[in-house]
Structure 1
Amino acid sequence: MRKVRLCLKGLLYSVLFLLAFLLLYGLSSVLLSRILVNEKVVPEKSVTLYLLSNGMHTDILMPLTNEVFDWQKVVSSQQVQDTEAPYHYVAMGWGCRKFYLETPTWADLKFTTAFQAVTGQGGTLMHATFYEEIPSGAERVSLEISKESYSQLVEHIKQTFVLEQGRGVLVPTNAVYGTSDAFYEAHGRYHLFFTCNSWTNAMLKRSGIKACIWTPFAFDVMRNYQK
């Protein structure tokens, strides 16, 4: 009987610890996502970017090529299924390898995949999606930034890629989301405190663009740029 009580007591403590952790995690996100950095920077509005969101994940949409940088030097529209389309934009996202390749929909999510992701065991990939025009059906916000900030953003995103002779290392897979996207090897660890949305926020923050101190959530990233 004593062993049963000890087990129940241990279970209770575990549940209370988990609840306290989730509460602290949520409060930290609420507070830190509302503290902005680079907010007073008034850039020369030379380059227009977009942030895209599906509610859970964010991508940075950029010109495929402009006077600052040509992304075809790193990724290639010839590495997607539809190689004939006249692409003008590319969206970059970073995330958990197992999520990207093994969870095409939330119905496919497995406990092991989620556990490995939040504990930093799932590996990471870069996801590049090419667009002919700015997608109208996606949730999006626009950002006007300077050429200098865009140049910094390009460098930070490039550093996330595993590069060979300056080009991203393609991941051969059929687990793409459509006919205009591809996956590439990436640096970094995805975990509970640095998610795909934390990466988006970090890329902007490190480039001198308005961002928050920290957030793991897509809606916090998007809210900071809604007019």
Structure 2
Amino acid sequence: MIVRVIKFFAKGLLAFLMLLLLYFVAALIGSAIPVNSDRQAGGDITIYLRTNGAHTDFIFPVENDVMDWEQMIDSTYILSKKGNYDYISFGWGDLEFYRNTPEWSDLTFPTAMQAVFLPTPSAMHVEFESPPRFDQPTVPIKVTEEEYRTLVDYVSWSFQKDFSGNVRPVPDLHYNQNDAFFYAKRSLNSFYTCNTWVNNGLKEAGLPACLWTPFDEGIFYKYH
């Protein structure tokens, strides 16, 4: 009986390891296949991509001829209540992960497993910045007005809205004086991560991206 139990768990562990291996192989292949690689570089608008080593954010101008983000997310949502910032960053991810993991050192196994395997709510993390924070790896990208407009539509669509079309803030959740969290659409899983969200936005805008990636390395490799 004990031998059968051991064999059962050994087979289960082997199957799990095989699936994990296939996942990483698929991620490697998907990250290596470029999308929009023939795009002509250049444009009048500068945006940024920033990573903390695991999670990627978009950084956009707060206001230009295409979009004034303060019409959608003003300073009343942040603790400092200050306005007149030059840039605004957007990150998408699992709400409970954001809530329980302000620093990567706070990450626990249950939080990670819940984020990846359970259909939990997602959130947008928004931070006002002047100038953009360069304390983490950050790359500038010159985009055209049309490309930026597509990115604006993509990010705006990702927010959950109320019946009046307003964004829905997550109460009492902040990392600093100039940020806020908002309820977002979709749910994070192993095939649709925070980096997949950024990569899909780049693809929609016709910018260099990966065929599919759950990680940040594939995205940033396209801009080195």
Shift in CA distance, 168/196, structure 1 to aligned 2, threshold 3 Å: same
Runs of 4+ more than 4 Å apart = none
1:158 corresponds in structure 2 to 156
1:171 corresponds in structure 2 to 170
1:200 equivalenced with 2:198 (yes/no): yes
- Give the secondary structure class of the aligned counterpart of 2:206: coil
2:179 corresponds in structure 1 to 181
2:57 corresponds in structure 1 to 59
Shift of 1:28: 0.9
Report if aligned partners of 1:127, 1:183 keep a CA contact under 8 Å in 2: yes
TM-score (normalised: structure 2) = 0.94
Matching residue within 115, 118, 122 for 2:116: 118
CA RMSD of aligned residues (A): 1.4
User: Where does 1:48-87 land on structure 2 (aligned, <5 Å)?
Assistant: 48-84=46-82, 86-87=84-85
1:18 corresponds in structure 2 to 16
Q: Which segments of 5 or more consecutive residues in structure 2 lack a partner in the other structure?
A: none
Report if aligned partners of 2:60, 2:87 keep a CA contact under 8 Å in 1: yes
Shift of 1:44: 4.9
2:223 corresponds in structure 1 to 225
Distance 1:168 1:155 in 2: 14
Matching residue within 105, 108, 117 for 1:107: 105
Q: Which segments of 5 or more consecutive residues in structure 1 lack a partner in the other structure?
A: none
1:38 corresponds in structure 2 to 36
1:181-224 CA distance string (max 9 Å, x none): 00001100100111101101011111111110111112222222
Report if aligned partners of 1:46, 1:147 keep a CA contact under 8 Å in 2: yes
1:98-150 CA distance string (max 9 Å, x none): 11011222333233222211113331001101101021212101111110011
Of the structure 1 ranges 92-101 and 130-139, higher mean CA displacement relative to structure 2 is found in 130-139
Distance 2:111 2:122 in 1: 13
TM-score (normalised: structure 1) = 0.93
Aligned residues: 223
Report if aligned partners of 1:73, 1:166 keep a CA contact under 8 Å in 2: no
User: Where does 1:111-150 land on structure 2 (aligned, <5 Å)?
Assistant: 111-150=109-148
Of the structure 1 ranges 40-49 and 148-157, higher mean CA displacement relative to structure 2 is found in 40-49
Distance 1:166 1:144 in 2: 30
Report if aligned partners of 1:50, 1:142 keep a CA contact under 8 Å in 2: yes
Of the structure 1 ranges 73-82 and 15-24, higher mean CA displacement relative to structure 2 is found in 73-82
Report if aligned partners of 1:125, 1:183 keep a CA contact under 8 Å in 2: yes
Distance 1:22 1:29 in 2: 11
Shift of 1:166: 3.3
